[in-house]
Amino acid sequence: MCNTGITPGFELRRFLSKIRISQYFDAMIFSDEVGIRKPDQRIFQLAARKLDTKQHETVHIGDNLKSDVWGAKSAGFKAIHVSTNKGRDKTAEEDPKSLAVLSRSLGRLQGKQMGPDKKIDTLAMVINAITELERTIK
């Protein structure tokens, strides 16, 4: 599931197909097509229905603490936060009042609901993180 901006879902689908990645997704949900954006619980619930899975057995992986982690946790999903230094604005992060700092610190400000179940630095760590989370799902 993806919050679309300038690029609409149909273009993202075309791009993912062109680079031969779309085949690895059982479902693709784009906010512009369904009229719902993360962190709204309804987009997560829609994903669970499309995947025919229970919310508490579903893991969402994302890089935004509010949209991805808080949204997933609010919907009853497990959440993996991808935290990397790539693309970060180091100048903004030096200002404690900047949006970059505030948005990345939400996990600490909001407690368990904003805290991911797992935190990873690269997508290569996803399989191990999901395997560890599977042990906690009842």
Work out the pLDDT band at 91, boundaries 50, 70, 90.
low
Instruction: Give tens-digit pLDDT for 98-123.
Output: 555 555 555 444 455 568 899 998 88
- Give domain status of residue 124, yes or no: yes
Domain count, the chain: 1
- Give domain status of residue 81, yes or no: yes
- Give domain status of residue 12, yes or no: no
Is this structure's pTM higher than 0.95?
A: no
Instruction: Give tens-digit pLDDT for 42-64.
Output: 999 999 999 999 999 999 999 88
Q: Which two tokens stand for residue 6?
A: 């300038």
Residue 73 backbone class (left: φ over 0; alpha: ψ -120 to 50; beta: rest): alpha
- Give domain status of residue 67, yes or no: yes
Q: Which range of residues forms the domain containing residue 94?
A: 54-134
